[in-house]
Structure 1
Amino acid sequence: MSTAEVTDLYMRTMQYSWDAYPYPSKTIEDLDMDKIERFANRINEKGRLRISGTPVEIISKMNLVKDGNPTNGAMLLFAKTPLMYDIHAGRLKTSDVILDDRIIRNTLYEAVEETMKYIMSHLKVSYKISSETVVQTTQRSEIFEYPLEALRELVLNSIIHRQYDNVGDIKIKIFDNRITIFNPGKLYGDLTIEDLKTDYYQSSARNKLVVEAFFLTGDIEKYGTGFHRVRNAISKYPSMKFKYREIQNGFLTELSYEETSTDNTVDNTVDKTNEEKILDAIRVNPGITQQKLVEITGLTRRGVEWNMQKLKVESVIRRVGGKKHGHWEILSD
C-alpha cells in the first residue's frame, strides 16, 4: 500500500477530510474577499442554500475556517495567490510531438473556466446547416468536436476529486481524435471501476468541503451522477467512446471518436479549425499582431506561431513588409 493510500485510509477511518485541515502559515488576509462574495452570490442565485454575512462569516459557516485560520479548502477556493496545484494541458500530434501547451494555476472555480477555455480553443467546430434551415432562415447551429457538457463534467471531476496531498499535476492531452484527463489519486473509498459503469453508484468525497462548495453553486450533483451525464452527452455522438481506468497513483479518463463522412445532400458541416480562425482574423485586419491572435484563438503565443508557420510553409499566407509596418496577405483568396 502506497503512502497516499495509507493517508486516504487513515482519513476515512477518522472521518477527516484533507480540505478541512488548517493551511500552514496562512491567515484570513491571504484570502480574496471578492472571490468569497462572488461565491456567496452564486450560492444564493442557485437557491440550494441562503447565505449572508461578511466574507469571513460566510466561509466560517461553510467550515472553511478553523481556529481563525483558513483551511486547505479555503485556500484552494479563494487564495489571493493560487496554490501550486497545476493543470498541465496541451495539444499533441503524437505523444512526442507537442503543438501547444499551457500550465494553468488558479483557484478552483477560476481553474475550471480557464481549463475549459483552453480545451475549447483546440476543438474543431462544425456549423450545421440543414436543407430546411436554408429555406426558412439563415441561422446555423454550432457542433463542437466533443460535447462540452461531457468535457466540463470530466474537468470538474478531475479538479474536485484530485488528491491534493499528491504533488503531481492534472494532465490534459488533446490529440487529433481523443482527449485524456489524468488526475492524481485513485478512486476514493469503496468505489470501483465496475460501480462507475452503472447509473446508480454511490460516490465518496475525498475533499468534502470542496464538493459541498461546488454542489451549492450548482456546478455538480452529490449523487454519483457525473459519469451518467457524460454517457448521456456522448450518446448524440455515435462514434464516440468513453473509457476510464486507474493507473499508477491516479485516475485516467478518455473521450475518443472515429472520423465519419458527412452527407452533403441534406446536412453540411464546416469545420472551424485554429488555422481558419487565424485566417478569418487576418481577413478582418491584415495588420493583426500575434498577441491579438492569441486573444482571439485562445492559443498560447507558441501555438499561434506554430499555426502561422504552417500556413506560410503551405503557401496559404505571406508577410508583406516588416514586423512593425507590414501586413499579412492570404494567397488563397
Structure 2
Amino acid sequence: MNLKDLKFENEEIEYKTSWKDEYLKTLCAFANTKGGQLIIGIKDNHEVVGVQNFQKLLEYIPNKVKNSLGIIPSLEIKEVDGKNILVISVQPYDMPVYYDEKIYVRSGSNTVELTGQELTRFIFKKFGKSWEKSPTSVTIDQLDLSTVELFKKLAKERLSAISEDDSIEKVLYNLELMSEDGCLNNAGVLLFGKDPSRQIDAPWVRIGRFSKNNSILDTVDAVGNLFRQLEIVYEAIKKNINVRFSFENTTERKEIWDYPLVAIREAIINALVHRDYAVQQDTQIKIFDNAIWFWNPGTLPEGIRVEDLKNTIHISKPRNRIIARVFYYARMIEQWGTGTSRIIDSCLNQGLPEPEFKEENGGFSVYLYKDMYTEDKLRKMGLNERQIMAVIYVQRTGKITNKEYQELTGVKERMAGYELNELVKLNILERIGKTGKGTFYTIKGAKGAMKTQ
C-alpha cells in the first residue's frame, strides 16, 4: 500500500494511531451501515506512525470484537512508508449489531448512536418490517365500524374481491390489516380505529390560520382515523380560505376558491398516506394570507427526486404500501404517481403560481400559492390602477377580453387594447387567439389558458 492510496476519512474509513477498546463503537457502526475499515497506525493527516505490537493485536482484537459485538472482523497487516499498519475490515450486517446495548451507525466520517425515531426506523428496516405491519392488541370491537362499511361501498368498483356482504373480519384480513388472532396491525388501527391517537399513540394533523404578523387566528386538531382526519382537515382549510361565485356564460353559479379544491384534497391525501408514522411528530398545515404550507415528517423515498414529482406520471414508491392501497381502493387516489401533477395542473389551470415541493426540516413540504401578482407588486412594476384591476380580475376569473376590460375600467376599445398589449409586453398576460371575438388574455404561463374558452 502506498501513501497516495490512502483516502480521507469517510463513512467507510477511519484512521487511528493505536488501538483502544472504545473503537469497538466504530466497528459496530461500520457493521450497521455499509461496512468499513478501521486502520491502526496512521494519523488523521495521513502521517504513518506504524504499529509495534501487531502480533498481539492480531490475537486480541478478533476475540474482543466477537465477544463484544458478535461479529467476526478481518485483520490484515500492510506496509506503508516502511512501517506496518493494521487494517481491520468489517462487512455490513443484515441484523442489528449492538455495542454495550446500544446501536451505532456511521454518518459521514462520524460514529453516532441511534436513539428515538431514528432507532425505530433502523430496527424496522433491518428486520424487514414496516410500521404498518407492527401488531397491536386492538380488536374489531374497538374499530369505527361505520368507516369500515363506508370503505366497502367506496371500494366495490375497484376491488371486486370485496362485497358489501363480506364480514368485517374478511375485509380486514384480505387487506392485510388483521392477523389470524383477530388483532389489527398499526395500519388497520390508523385506517379504521375509533381513536388511533390513544390506541397506538398515532400522530394527528394540526391546522393553523395565521395573520400577516403571524398571530394565530384559528387552530384545529384533526384526530381520529385517516378517513375522519381527511374530512376534518379538508373542511378546516375551506373554512379559512375565501370563495367567490361566477355566473360566466351560464345561469348556474360556479364556486371559485382561493385555491383549487382538487389541489387541497390531493395535498391532504399525500400528507396522510405518505408521512413517516414511525416519527412521533404531527403533520402541520399552516394557512397564511397568500399561501398554504403542508409539512410532513419523512423525506422522499430513495430513488425519487423533487424534480420527478413535476412529471405527469412518475414512479410511485409509497412508504406506507398498505395505507396507500386502501386509499386507492376507496377511490381517494385516482392513479398511482399522479397526485403531485394533479396539484400542479389544478393550480396552473386557475391561473395560480406553480406549487412548490421541498425536502426540509426532516420532512416533506408542499406550498400552494394564492396569487402570482399582488397589488403592491403590480404597483412596483409601474402599472396604472386600471391595469392592476384587470390583472387581479384575471387571477380571479382566469381570463379577460377587450370588452370585459372596457366594462371593468370604463375606457374605450382602443385604450383597452393598448393597455392590454402593455401587459403582454411586460410578460404579465398572454394573448390567446389572433383577432376577433375569440381573443382573450390570461396570466402568462397559466397551463389552462386554452381551457378557459
Per the normalisation by structure 1, the TM-score is 0.72
1:266 alignment partner in structure 2 = 404
Deviations 1:203-257 (A, max 9, x none): 2111111111001111114521111111111121223230111112211110113
| 2:159 maps to 1:28 | no
What SS does structure 2 have at the residue aligned with 1:180?
Answer: strand
Structure 2: distance between partners of 1:152 and 1:242: 14
Structure 2 unaligned residues grouped into runs of 5+: 1-106, 108-113, 375-390, 395-399, 409-453
Give the deviation of 1:174 after TM superposition. 0.7
Q: Aligned with 1:262: secondary structure? A: helix
1:87 to 196, 199, 205: 205
1:49 to 160, 171, 186: 160
CA distance 1:59–1:112, change in 2 (3 Å): same
Q: Which amino acid aligns with 1:29?
A: D
Specify whether residues 197 and 236 from structure 1 end up closer, same or farther in structure 2 by C-alpha distance, changes over 3 A only: closer
Structure 1: runs of 5+ lacking an equivalent:
270-333
Identical residues among aligned pairs (%)? 29
Aligned pair 1:129/2:232, yes or no?
no
- 2:278 equivalent in structure 1: 165
Counterpart residue identity of residue 207, structure 2: A
Aligned match of 1:298: none
The correspondence of residues 1-333 of structure 1 with structure 2, limited to 5 A, is 4=117, 8=121, 11=124, 15-23=128-136, 25-44=137-156, 46-52=157-163, 53-68=166-181, 69-83=183-197, 84-94=202-212, 96-130=214-248, 132-133=249-250, 137=251, 139-221=252-334, 223-258=336-371, 259=374, 260-262=391-393, 266=404
Bigger shift: residues 112-121 or 90-99: 90-99
Question: Partners of 2:302 and 2:134 in 1: how far apart?
Answer: 19
Q: Aligned partners of 1:186 and 1:217: how far apart in 2? A: 25
> Any runs of at least 4 consecutive aligned residues in structure 1 with deviations exceeding 4 A, and if so which?
1-15
Mapped to 2, the partners of 1:201 and 1:8 lie a distance apart of 25
Which one has a bigger Cα radius of gyration?
A: 2
* RMSD between superposed Cα atoms in Å: 2.5
Quick one: which amino acid aligns to residue 34 of structure 1? Answer: S
Q: What amino acid sits opposite 1:31 in the alignment?
A: L
Shift of 1:67: 4.0
Any conservation in 1 of the 2:348–2:354 contact (CA below 8 Å)? no
**1:12, 1:211 → 2: CA distance?**
19
**Of the two structures, which has the highest relative contact order with CA contacts closer than 8 Å and spacing of 6 or more?**
1
Residue of structure 2 in register with 1:280 after alignment: none
In 1: Cα distance, 2:363 partner to 2:342 partner: 22
Distance 1:205 1:9 in 2: 18
| Structure 2 Cα separation of the partners of residues 6 and 193 of structure 1 | 26
Give the 3 Å change call, closer, same or farther, for CA 231–41 of structure 1 in structure 2.
same
Seen in structure 2, the aligned counterparts of structure 1 residues 104 and 93 have a Cα distance that, compared at 3 Å, is: same
User: Letter of the aligned partner of 2:217 in structure 1?
Assistant: L
Mean Cα deviation higher: 226-235 or 170-179: 226-235
Question: Match of 1:100, SS?
Answer: strand
Query: 1:15 Cα shift?
Result: 4.8
Task: Tell me, in whole angstroms, the C-alpha distance in 2 between the residues paired with 1:95 and 1:210.
Answer: 38
Give 3-state SS (helix, strand or coil) of 1:66's partner.
coil
AA aligned to 2:161 is R
Contact in 2 for aligned 1:17/1:208 (Cα 8 Å)? no
